[in-house]
Amino acid sequence: MKKLLFSAMLFAAVSARAALGTPTVTAITPSASNRTVSVTYSLSGDEPAIVTMTVTTGGKTYDAISAVGAVNGLVPAGSDNTVTWHPQDDLPAGTYDANALSVQLKAWSISTPPDYMAVSLLAPKCVKYYVSSNAVPGGVLDSRWKEDWLLMRRIPAKGVIWRMGCASGDYCWNISEQNDTYGFQPLHYVTNTADFYIGVYEVTQGQYKRLANGAEPSTVGKDAFSSLSTASHRVLHQTDWKWHPVETVSWALATNAATVLAAASGLSFGLPTQEQWEFAGRGETQWGTYNGAPHNPTCISPIGICYQVQNTYYGGAQNVAHPLYACHMPVGQKRPNAYGLYDMIGNISEWCSGWFDAGETLRPVRGGELHMSGEGHGVGYCRGKAASFVDSKYGFRLACAIP
């Protein structure tokens, strides 16, 4: 057994409460067969920190995705923290030179955590953090993030001043419709007060079943696919129902799912506010569509493709006969926006927290669903519905305050 001593990479930062500690590695111990590597380290200071890990070998640095133990999560200050790493899962050749291996640990303040957070829907208070989409195990499109875990993206929003609402060039086909009655909210400026996490995906039917004690409210599910009009429709949808967004859930039920997850995880989950939803949906642009260009009535361009029958973004009543658009689709089938968020427009509409109207009688719904015309697919578009309202095209995604 060979022990290699080395210095961990220093990361200097100050949290709101105390100086962030530094992880200091005391030993790397490869197994005799090089199948696993044990890393032992201590974390200075008196505050817990989120610790992430990379490894360098052969002149290249890799994310230690397969590492388990006191890593990719919240670690208490102190000594005797142990990580077990599986090189064969993270290195292209699966092997390494034990004499030319270095490990870098980075401590993150809980107030400024990494970009991705994954919350288990199977185990209470099981939360993992990843520094980038490349560090997410299996990649963000892996099925685990659509079933047993909820994958969240941190939105760097704090202090940003931005324009919220609908401008005439965004996506409104008829300028006379540019008012609250038609869902197009007037322009105003918003200053974000904090970063936040928001779901990479809409909550799926499989995830909702875990959050709602086995409930399956969706009208388009494993049994409902048999009712689709043609065999081609059924073939497309019969096996992946649990990855479709949950729908036919009211605002009240969506809010209750957030409450359940908050209690299980110890984190502050809820429906996103309208400001959070629209800021995240715009993906660092001032335009109403994903790619940062003004709306063209014949080419909605949320992901750079024309709004026509086989190429549509899940949308338009004229397209319901096409097998790909007979119903909503599994999450993550289209390109994401600049923040890596999928299906913010199209697929289903999403409940938000707060009120739609000044009289506080209606709840806000964002994102145009599959059967809506193109003008409703802008991120500034909003409708109001009663909290008890249900529809087969209405679902939700979750947001979370930074711990």
Tell me, yes or no, whether 89 and 171 share the same domain: no
Poorest-pLDDT segment among 122-136, 198-212, 303-317, 364-378: 303-317
Reported confidence tier of residue 244, pLDDT bands at 50, 70, 90: confident
Q: What are phi and psi of 214, to 5 degrees?
A: 90, 0
CATH code, domain with 54: 2.60.40
Asked if residue 367 has pLDDT above 70, the reply is: yes
Q: Give the pairing type, strands 399-401 and 78-85.
A: unpaired
Q: Is 236 a member of any domain?
A: yes
Residues 215 and 300 both lie in one domain = yes
- In terms of domains, do 178 and 95 share one? no
| End-of-domain residue from the set 52, 73, 108 | 108
Give the model confidence (pLDDT) of 272-314 as tens digits.
999 999 999 888 765 554 444 443 333 333 333 333 323 334 4
Q: Considering the domain boundaries, does residue 223 fall inside one?
A: yes
Tell me, yes or no, whether 55 and 177 share the same domain.
Answer: no
Q: In degrees to the nearest 10, what's the CA dihedral of 117, 120, 266, 196?
A: 30
Q: Label residues 123-134 b or e (16+ Cβ within 10 Å = b).
A: eeeebbbbbebe
Asked if residue 160 and residue 93 are part of one domain, the reply reads no
C-alpha R_g of the chain: 23
* 325 and 189, same domain (yes or no): yes
DSSP string of 147-185, one letter each residue = TTEEEEEEE--TT-EEEES--TTTS-S-GGG-SGGGTBP
Residue 268 belongs to a domain: yes
pLDDT for 315 equals: 42
Residues 220 and 317 in one domain: yes
If asked whether residues 99 and 239 sit together in one domain, one would say no
User: Are residues 315 and 172 both part of a single domain?
Assistant: yes
Which of 47, 80, 108 is a domain's end point? 108
pLDDT of 230 reads 54
Residue 118 within a domain: no
**CATH code, 197:** 3.90.1580.10
Q: Does residue 51 share a domain with residue 178?
A: no
The number of CA neighbours under 13 Å toward the Cβ of 232 is: 6
Overall number of domains in the chain = 2
| pLDDT of residue 332 exceeding 70 | yes
Residue 27 in this model has a pLDDT that exceeds 80 = yes
Same domain, 182 and 244: yes
Answer whether residue 185 is part of any domain: yes
Indicate whether 148 belongs to any domain.
no
- Mean pLDDT over 74-93 rounds to 91
Does some domain include residue 290? yes
Range of the domain at 237: 155-401
Question: For the segment 124-178, what is each residue's pLDDT rounded down to a tens digit?
Answer: 999 999 999 999 999 999 999 999 999 999 999 999 988 888 765 555 444 454 4
Which among 90, 108, 126 is the end of a domain?
108
Residue at 140 is within a domain? no
64 with 202, same domain: the answer is no
Question: What would the DSSP string read from start to end of 260-282?
Answer: HHHHHHSS-EEPPPHHHHHHHHH
